[in-house]
């Protein structure tokens, strides 16, 4: 009885072993139809990282991460993580994760990431507050895409080695066109009649008939019209006023 039980167990074990081997061979042979061609395996790569001007004082440093897509298909909606640290990036290091937009096939895209303001004060060196010293960038940080090279998805940079992008002010010169609205020069001839002085009447003697006044025409040379009409009126009234006073 004991031998029979042992024989049955050994036989069952052999059957199971053969079944597992057979299933494994079938699965391995079936996977040949699911092999991804080498040219279809894409790759994301960190091409360049630079510091950008800070536009929000409530945030920390801002960086531009240039990512290249080495594949024949567009890639979109993958995650990019930037980590600030004094040395090695740790789980509690301040970090920011953003979703990248669409990168066309064989194209590139710059993703902008702003770190938390805590990165500006991460240490104390002799009473001097120091900020982050290293930046770690990880693309496809959630490992959502199968790539031919996973090693180029993570890079660490020293803050001293990162170039700073400077925004140059562009001056626009505006030329104002001046329109001359001054009055053209017009020759004006003014004719004025000046009464002659009355003849002196002797103290005694018969009255004499006064000599009729002879009108005198004063020809004025052509002058340039004065832009101020009040000034012109005063100039014309000055001779008349002096005559009335006499």
Q: How do residues 60-70 score in pLDDT, each as one tens digit? A: 999 999 999 99
| Residue 201 counted as domain residue | no
Domains identified in the chain, total number: 1
Predicted confidence at residue 109, as pLDDT, reads 94
C-beta separation of 80 from 65 below 8 A: yes
Q: Which residues of the chain have pLDDT under 70?
A: 1-6, 26-39, 167-230, 237-246
State the pairing for strand pair 62-69/79-85. unpaired
| Residue 137 counted as domain residue | yes
Q: How far apart are CA 226 and CA 218, in angstroms?
A: 20
| Residue 61 counted as domain residue | yes
Which tens digits make up the pLDDT trace of 170-209?
555 555 444 454 444 444 444 454 455 555 545 444 544 5
| Residue 85 counted as domain residue | yes
C-beta separation of 91 from 151 below 8 A: no
| Residue 222 counted as domain residue | no
C-beta separation of 192 from 218 below 8 A: yes
Q: How far apart are CA 23 and CA 95, in angstroms?
A: 46
Q: Which residues contact 62 (CB under 8 A, 6 or more apart)?
A: 51, 52, 53, 54, 55, 112, 113, 114, 115
pTM for this predicted structure? 0.54
- Quote the longest CA-to-CA distance of the chain: 191
| Residue 84 counted as domain residue | yes
Give the residue numbers spanning the domain of 97: 40-161
The CATH number of the domain where 68 resides is what?
A: 2.60.40.10
As given in the structure block, the two tokens for residue 226 are: 């004065």
Predicted confidence at residue 64, as pLDDT, reads 96
**Neighbouring C-beta atoms of residue 3, cutoff 10 Å:** 7
| Residue 1 counted as domain residue | no
| Residue 52 counted as domain residue | yes
Going along 9-161, which residue ranges are E strands? 44-52, 62-69, 79-85, 95-99, 108-114, 123-125, 128-130, 134-139, 154-158
């Amino acid at each position: 009885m004991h031998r029979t039980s042992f024989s049955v167990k050994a036989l069952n074990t052999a059957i199971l072993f053969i079944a597992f081997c057979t299933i494994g061979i079938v699965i391995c042979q079936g996977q040949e139809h699911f092999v991804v061609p080498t040219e279809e395996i894409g790759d994301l790569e960190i091409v360049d990282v630079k510091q950008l001007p800070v536009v929000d004082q409530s945030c920390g440093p801002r960086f531009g991460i240039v990512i290249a897509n080495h594949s024949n298909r567009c890639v979109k909606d993958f995650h990019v993580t930037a980590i600030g640290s004094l040395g090695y990036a740790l789980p509690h290091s301040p970090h920011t994760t953003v979703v990248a937009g669409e990168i066309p096939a064989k194209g590139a895209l710059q993703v902008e990431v702003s770190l938390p303001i805590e990165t500006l004060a991460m240490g104390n060196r002799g009473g001097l507050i120091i900020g982050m010293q290293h930046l770690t960038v990880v693309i496809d940080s959630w490992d959502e895409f199968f790539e031919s090279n996973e090693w180029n998805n993570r890079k660490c940079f020293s803050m001293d080695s990162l170039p700073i992008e400077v925004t140059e002010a562009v001056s626009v010169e505006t030329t104002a066109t001046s329109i001359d609205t001054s009055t053209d020069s017009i020759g004006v001839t003014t004719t004025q009649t000046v009464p002659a002085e009355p003849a002196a009447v002797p103290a005694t003697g018969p009255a004499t008939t006064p000599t009729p006044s002879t009108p005198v025409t004063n020809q004025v040379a052509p002058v340039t019209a004065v832009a101020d009409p009040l000034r012109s009126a005063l100039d014309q009234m000055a001779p008349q006023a002096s005559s009335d006073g006499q």
